[in-house]
Structure 1
């Protein structure tokens, strides 16, 4: 297969993964399906990368160039930002990790270059490097505290801030000690990424996150400090149910 045809197939694969939701319960299944159904394409990609540096560079630039062109066609800044959010989510969740699975020693270099070119072409929509193992491991360890992290990010709090540390410790300690608590955590991680994604699309996302902080998270932290762990659980469940109703089913 010539490189031009390979690049076209990679673009079609990228477009396909745009329709995939990012859920803990289905992520491994989707990735396994992609690796199985597109094993030949992954092998062809690896062969080109192993054969020539120019071929590897063209593959690395393929999707960043495609997305940059697509976003340039959208005149409305608001609509462009929303579409960019979808592309960023897809790139980091599926496409970069999938390219990292090509059977080649060049896989890591290819995906790092892909991210580098993306950030050069679209500096206002930067992404970070990701792998299938890091995402899967993150789910397993429970580090994806999506809603709380998104709220703290909007308030310019660091990832290791006191509030996040307190809620993570509560989750990994008190909640994980009971079957009911583990069920709550599992359900939360299945729906939270989509909730955050949809809040981020709202015009007043920062105000929404501030409201979540004021109404739910700050009181939760206070209850943890007062050793009222069961009351914290009830409030946290109320928060998730409220956000689920508003951003998943409305």
Structure 2
């Protein structure tokens, strides 16, 4: 195994998928993935041979991209710039890079992609990601969609990914919103616009103030509405928040 060459190629692929992640849209996702599979078919075949040959080699190459990203982040001194970079890297990893690796046809594919995610989360515990597949994305990316903006807000307030607020909203999404009329379509729509909204807020000079206002005016009231079993009122308030943010950060 030519380790240096393979490592360079896998990093190059990650940089390429990052360009796709920046313009992510469900209408082009399938064709994007097909383009990447064809363009990098030789690399994917090489990886397949390695992960099937040795578990030790599999673990070694699974660390190439997580280690590379962790090193890049360690060179960023500004917390705000690091948060923005982490958001971009997480989006890349979850939406394109891991799902593309998941297209390798092998019994070792899932252990390999799970190991990448495990190493990623170990290297960057403040910016953890979940395991994802192409089918997962094409199905609407149901896990994590509704709370995309909420996650960004909670992070700005130094709340953890498993904090009470995010856990409550995820439960609301999965057990109420997704089962309500037009709820699944609403969640999918959120995902198409939320990453861009968050990125534009993060690149502004007053992102902390913006997130504080979102928390005060929308998210905290939404949480209280859920606690009071006023779930439809929460839906209306959250929808109002998204519409206003969409108007301000996408069309102004």
Answer yes or no: same fold by TM over 0.5.
yes
Q: Within 5 Å, give how 1:116-195 maps onto structure 2.
A: 116-139=118-141, 144-146=145-147, 149-150=150-151, 156-159=163-166, 161=168, 165=172, 169=176, 172-175=179-182, 187-195=189-197
Aligned to 2:83: 81
User: Mind listing any 5+ residue stretches in structure 2 that lack a counterpart?
Assistant: none
Q: Flag the structure with larger Rg.
A: 1
SS at 2:63 equivalent: helix
Structure 2 residue corresponding to 1:40, chosen from 35, 39, 42: 42
TM-score between the two structures when normalised by the length of structure 2: 0.74
RMSD: 3.8
Aligned to 1:93: 95
- C-alpha distance in 2 between matches for 1:5 and 1:227: 54
Q: Indicate if the aligned counterparts of 1:198 and 1:247 stay in contact, CA closer than 8 A.
A: yes
Aligned to 1:17: 17
Aligned residues: 242
SS at 2:103 equivalent: coil
Aligned to 1:51: 53
- C-alpha distance in 1 between matches for 2:201 and 2:164: 18
User: Mind listing any 5+ residue stretches in structure 1 that lack a counterpart?
Assistant: none
User: C-alpha displacement at 1:195, in angstroms?
Assistant: 1.7
Q: Deviations over 1:123-179 (max 9, x none)?
A: 33322222222232344x697224565367867445563796289746753446xxx
Relative distance call for 1:148 and 1:119 in structure 2 (3 A) is closer
The alignment status of 1:105 with 2:93, answered yes or no, reads no
Q: Indicate if the aligned counterparts of 2:80 and 2:202 stay in contact, CA closer than 8 A.
A: no
User: C-alpha displacement at 1:238, in angstroms?
Assistant: 4.8
